[in-house]
Structure 1
Amino acid sequence: MGKKQEKAEKERIKRLEAFDNYYSAIYKDRYIKLKEALLKDNEAVSFSQNLISEYFLDRASILVAQLLPLKEGDNVLDMCAAPGGKTLVMLSKMNGNIYLTANDRSRDRKQRLDEVIRSHIPEQWQERIKTTCYDASTWGLHEKEVYDAILLDAPCSSERHVIKSEKHLAMWSPSRPKRLAIEQYALLASAFDAVKKGGYILYSTCSINPEEDEKVIEKLIKRKESLFDIINFDLEFSEERAYGRIILPDSANNLGPLYACLIRKKDE
């Protein structure tokens, strides 16, 4: 091993130790089993209901995407939609009978989203779907109280990728969840402005970090508590958090991780 490789390996070990220490402080003795589960391959399942071809995704994603209350004719926003699995689940649930805007801020990811929609969605649904490429954190400035329902599957630490990928591990640091939590709250506040009174927001992440999950909801409570309700729901394989529920792979047959919280903006 050359000096450059040796240095890179030392840096990798250092980051992994920092990662383990960070999450051990949160999960205590449970972290050992949780880490073992995160390191295992998460087998994707086929989803094809009402679609023209099957799409493979984590079963936890299917369960969570189905939580958003929808009715025929609703105007729906998927704020961070790529690669598009949850988008397909929502459209399938309503047999295409909603008006859906699927957004992603990355042009490359938006192109992938376009391809997923083209190759899986029946042609007769297409006129009710549009895809966009905007920074969703400013969405509420331009479209206030427009949407009946919003899915915010927020960018997150995605620890399952971090722990298994040298590329993702190299991007991780103990300060990264704090930076992401700021971004996540900006997206949630934007969604809150964009949803109609009486409308629903489903906030979700694939993070195991409370800073990016229930503490983001807690921040919204501190600022807008009188303006919304948190809606309780049943979610298979999940466990309760202070706000919302989470599916963790060590206790959910290797599904997830996936956190979800459903809120309803009050009518008055």
Structure 2
Amino acid sequence: MGSSHKKDTQTFDSFYQSMYGQRWPTLREALLKPSNPIPFSEGLTQSYYLDEASILAARSLPISDGDIVLDMCAAPGGKTLVLATSLQTKGLLISNDRSSQRRGRLRKVVDHYLPEEIRSRVTITSHDATKWGLYEQERYDAVLLDAPCSSERHVLQDPKALAQWSPSRTKHLAIQQFAMLAAALEAVKLGGYILYSTCSISSKENEEIIQKLEKKRDGRYEEIAIDGPFAQKLSHGSIILPDTEGGRGPLYYCLMRKIG
């Protein structure tokens, strides 16, 4: 192991050790193991493989037939497939991703896996999710914000990603994540639902984002408790972690309903 890689690893470990304490070595070992995606096939033309935690989280967003739904950061598309099949016979899904490269992958996924009747009700857009409230307000019945995050499982398994990681990265991402969540609150209708999720293990990108929303948007939403399988409840929302849940996750999610 080179000295620079060793330094990167030590910095990374120190940061997450401070959050997880004695649990960190076990969690770290679980994150280093390959993920175990399962087939999701309900309503699709063929099975799409993704983490079971992602399916469970996306399914926890209440969607009724006929709803207008927004997936704010939709690529690569697994959760969009789960949302699209929840629409059944009516309703619209807006699947958004700002990156043209990721949007191309998203388009291939929805074209390949969705039957035409559902695909015809999915629109792919390219907006900046942090500014959504500037051009659409109170339009959507349900919003999924699967926010860009630190993706620590990927970072640990990729030396290049580890070399680019720093403690400040989670801080910068948290600023972006909060801006997106605030925009989602503007985009959803009164009485509508928002599901905030990440694949991060950092509390700064998970429950602390909801804590900040509670402070800055007090009285505008209520948190909805979810008793989902495999999930550990936190101060806000829940997290599925691979060290205790058979390799599932990591996946953090929190469900909210707009009330004001």
Bin of the TM-score, shorter chain as denominator length: over 0.9
Structure 1 residue 98 displacement after superposition:
2.4
Query: 1:5-84 maps to which residues of 2 (within 5 A)?
Result: 9-84=2-77
TM superposition shift of 1:166:
1.1
* C-alpha deviation, 1:18, in angstroms: 0.3
| Unmatched tracts of structure 1, length 5 or more | 1-5
Q: 2:227 aligns with which of 222, 234, 237?
A: 234
Name the CA distance, whole Å, in 1 between partners of 2:99 and 2:164.
Answer: 18
Q: Is the CA contact 2:84–2:122 (under 8 Å) kept in the aligned structure 1?
A: no
The answer to whether 1:148 aligns with 2:141 is yes
Rg larger for? 1
1:56-205 to 2 correspondence within 5 Å?
A: 56-95=49-88, 97-205=90-198
Whether contact under 8 Å (1:227, 1:265) holds in the other structure is: yes
SS in 2 for 1:56: strand
Q: Is the Cα contact below 8 Å between 2:85 and 2:118 reproduced in 1? A: no
Percent of residue pairs identical: 50
Please say if residues 104 and 134 of structure 1, whose CA atoms lie closer than 8 Å, have aligned partners that are also in contact: yes
CA distance in 1, matches of 2:110, 2:160: 28
SS across alignment from 1:152: strand
CA contact (8 A) 2:67 2:87 kept: no
Work out which of the residue numbers 241, 254, 261 in structure 1 matches 2:247: 254
Is the 2:149–2:199 contact (alpha carbons within 8 Å) kept by the matching residues of 1?
Answer: yes
Shift of 1:257: 0.2
Aligned CA-pair RMSD: 1.0
Displacement after TM superposition at 1:13 (Å): 1.2
1:183-235 Cα offsets, whole Å, 9 max, x none, are 00000011011111100000000000000000000000001121110000111
**Structure 2: distance between partners of 1:154 and 1:173:** 19
TM-score (norm 1): 0.95
The Cα shift of 1:175 comes to 0.8
Secondary structure, aligned partner of 2:31: helix
Structure 2 equivalent of residue 224 of structure 1: 217
CA distance in structure 1 between the aligned counterparts of 2:7 and 2:125, rounded to whole angstroms = 40
